[in-house]
Amino acid sequence: KGRDLMSMQPHQVISQGVARTFQNLELFSTMTVMDNLLVGQHSRLPYNILQAVFRLPKASDQEKTGIIRALEVLEFLGLSVYRDTPAAALPYGIKKRVELARALVSRPDLLLLDEPAAGLTNEEVSGLAGVIRDVRDGQGVTVLLVEHQMNLVMEVSDRVCVLDFGRKIAEGPPAQVRKDPAVVQTYLGSSGAST
């Protein structure tokens, strides 16, 4: 949209349609999954603290809308069963998915995923690939993925930019990047060109 986000506060960035997940989980461990999602919408709600404290109609209506959105995202990500579970009681892979859900409740146009596969099992990474595609294709969200698991990157990306110690060594469609000699040598190994 042509706006400089670097000088903005996090709530201002979210109001511009940008949401993100963190490599290191940033969930509120004592709060339920549902409450974590509701917090994720806070900066997008169009009412002030007084309206919320006094439960004025505008705040009450927006709160209901927020709950409905959170329930939709829980369903979309297969997390409904965890709705009332404290985040601390969840397995790591589910916590990662809750973090993604919290980002999605704000209805972003751009979703930044920082190492979403870090610490996940192969099965969880496979499921994550499907979720990323569903977010991109089903919800029309642009996804920017920072990830070291090249198989995941190649599977879900339309365009890939590969860095080696902060220096760009390749950029282009996955099929092209996968065959780039510098990428093969640095990340994929000698068998990477054929996989």
Model confidence pLDDT, tens digit, residues 83-129: 999 999 999 999 999 999 999 998 999 999 999 999 999 999 999 99
The β-bridge relationship of strands 142-146 and 160-164 is: unpaired
Predicted pLDDT of residue 12: 74
Predicted pLDDT of residue 96: 94
Predicted pLDDT of residue 60: 62
Confidence of residue 61 (pLDDT cuts 50, 70, 90): low
Report domain extents, the chain: 10-157
Which 3 state secondary structure label does DSSP give 88?
helix
Confidence of residue 130 (pLDDT cuts 50, 70, 90): very high
Least confident of 41-45, 64-68, 143-147, 178-182: 41-45
The DSSP secondary-structure symbol of 90 reads: S
Nearest of 32, 31, 5, 30 to residue 16 by alpha carbon: 5
pTM passes above 0.75: yes
Higher pLDDT, 22 or 29: 29
Question: According to CATH, what is the number of the domain 10-157?
Answer: 3.40.50.300
**Mean pLDDT value of segment 133-161:** 94
How far is the first Cα of the chain from the last one, in angstroms, to the nearest whole number?
A: 37
Burial class (CB in 10 A: 0-12, 13-18, 19+), 103: buried
* Distances, alpha carbon 86 to alpha carbons 35, 67, 142, in Å: 9, 17, 30
Compute the distance between CA of residue 165 and CA of residue 85 in angstroms, rounded to an integer: 40
Burial class (CB in 10 A: 0-12, 13-18, 19+), 172: middle
**Mean pLDDT value of segment 157-173:** 95
